[in-house]
């Protein structure tokens, strides 16, 4: 399996985030991709650099004003005060309920809140470069599939599945899975399926495709009544308009054991097979691991080999995009177990 990796991810390295009201080192750190890269090399996997520029597909997924803000956000932050180079911006106000979101404020704090789902996406001077490199990898993977490859893995960060049309959130800035899916559509795939196996619901991906029938979104994740992102991911969300019936959520209770998780995966795969997709995009979150510090499922490292085997049985050209997974020391083993399970099936 081809693996795409860009060292530009290292430039996104915020120092801290807020977790349960406390200032803590970022769970989503450059070390995550480093452990994955080391394990890939140790097991003899070839690494390539992305070659496709995602510039043309980005506006098909994200709004122009959001992209313009994201690309210029750090420059705007420094323009307020050069001393901000040593600080991280966080939103403090959001346009909820009766507040307006159609007008972009001039004030930077107002803009940041407008384009943020939460305060869980710390930024620094390299955020845009890293996020854009991840988007380029997703587009490159889709192009490789259109050229005849059967499977490509994007060893990228930051993750993307919480990013919506015009907002960031949950460590995510650009929605890599959606970019891969749209690129596949642009290259002639009639139907694409996106399977999200991250512990947290891919609210951004769902919202992007919610009114479309050409891209099926299927997700198994922690029940949003108790788990982030809380406000999307319920079983009764099945799509709207042309997309009615093309969204399937399989929420699972906190503490779900691996056996029940794989039962849900079988249901997800059955719906994907029914969709008769031309290609599959997998939002490969590894935070379902039992040792993950911010999740509560109980998959063990060996279970990820089984996950890869099940994905291969779908028989589809497949892009796998790395999402969450914050037990960093074990992340490389868990990721490569998925890839080798897929290859060996």
Residue 14 lies in a domain: yes
Task: Look at 15-19, 284-288, 300-304, 322-326 and tell me which has the smallest mean pLDDT.
Answer: 15-19
Taking the complete model, does pTM exceed 0.85, yes or no? yes
Q: What is the pLDDT of residues 107-135, one digit of tens each?
A: 999 999 999 999 999 999 999 999 999 99
Tokens of 105: 């404020």
Provide the percentage of residues in the chain whose pLDDT is more than 70. 100
Residue 91 lies in a domain: no
- Note if 55 is an active site residue: no
Kindly state the helix (H) or strand (E) to which residue 282 belongs, with its residue range.
strand 279-284
What distance in Å separates the CA atoms of residue 168 and residue 161, rounded to the nearest whole number?
Answer: 10
Kindly state the helix (H) or strand (E) to which residue 196 belongs, with its residue range.
strand 192-196
Say which CATH number the domain at 37 has.
3.40.800.20
Residue 235 lies in a domain: yes
Average pLDDT of the residues in 84-111: 96
Average pLDDT of the residues in 204-228: 98
**Three-class SS state of 4:** strand
What distance in Å separates the CA atoms of residue 310 and residue 303, rounded to the nearest whole number?
Answer: 11
Tokens of 129: 């470069």
**Which residue segment(s) compose the domain that 269 sits in?**
2-62+134-344
What distance in Å separates the CA atoms of residue 222 and residue 342, rounded to the nearest whole number?
Answer: 24
Residue 296 lies in a domain: yes
What distance in Å separates the CA atoms of residue 193 and residue 29, rounded to the nearest whole number?
Answer: 29
Catalytic residue among 162, 200, 201, 275: 162
Residue 255 lies in a domain: yes
Average pLDDT of the residues in 33-41: 97
Number of domains in the chain: 1
Residue 109 lies in a domain: no
Residue 74 lies in a domain: no
Residue 303 lies in a domain: yes
8 A C-beta contact, residue 50 and residue 133? yes
Measure CA 194 to chain center: 11
Tokens of 163: 């990013």
């Amino acid at each position: 399996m081809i693996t795409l990796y860009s060292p530009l991810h290292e430039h996104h390295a915020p120092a801290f985030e807020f977790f349960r009201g406390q200032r803590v080192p970022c769970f989503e750190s450059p070390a995550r991709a480093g452990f994955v890269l080391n394990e890939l090399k140790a097991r003899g996997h070839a690494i390539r650099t992305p070659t496709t520029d995602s510039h043309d597909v980005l506006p098909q997924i994200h709004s122009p004003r959001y992209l313009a803000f994201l690309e210029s956000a750090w420059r705007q932050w420094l323009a307020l005060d050069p001393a901000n180079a040593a600080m991280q911006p966080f939103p403090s106000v959001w346009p909820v309920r009766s507040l307006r979101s159609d007008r972009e404020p001039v004030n930077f704090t107002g803009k940041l809140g407008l384009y943020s789902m939460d305060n869980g996406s710390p930024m620094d001077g390299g955020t845009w470069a890293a996020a854009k490199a991840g988007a380029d990898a997703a587009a490159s993977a889709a192009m490789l599939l259109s050229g005849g490859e059967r499977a490509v893995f994007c060893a990228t960060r930051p993750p993307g599945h919480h990013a919506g049309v015009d907002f960031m959130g949950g460590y995510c800035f650009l929605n890599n899975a959606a970019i891969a899916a749209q690129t596949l559509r642009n290259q002639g795939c009639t139907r694409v399926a996106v399977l999200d196996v991250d512990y947290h619901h891919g609210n951004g991906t769902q919202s992007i495709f919610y009114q479309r029938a050409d891209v099926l979104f299927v997700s198994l994740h922690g029940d949003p009544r108790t788990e982030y992102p809380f406000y999307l991911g319920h079983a009764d969300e099945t799509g709207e308009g042309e997309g009615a019936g093309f969204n399937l959520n399989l929420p699972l209770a906190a503490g779900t054991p691996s056996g029940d998780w794989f039962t849900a995966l079988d249901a997800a795969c059955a719906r994907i097979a029914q969709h008769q997709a031309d290609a599959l995009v997998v939002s490969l979150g590894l935070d379902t691991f039992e040792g993950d510090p911010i999740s509560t499922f109980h998959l063990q490292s060996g279970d990820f080999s089984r996950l890869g085997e099940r994905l291969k049985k779908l028989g589809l050209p497949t892009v796998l995009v790395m999402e969450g997974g914050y037990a960093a020391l074990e992340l490389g083993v868990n990721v490569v177990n998925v890839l080798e399970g897929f290859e060996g099936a």
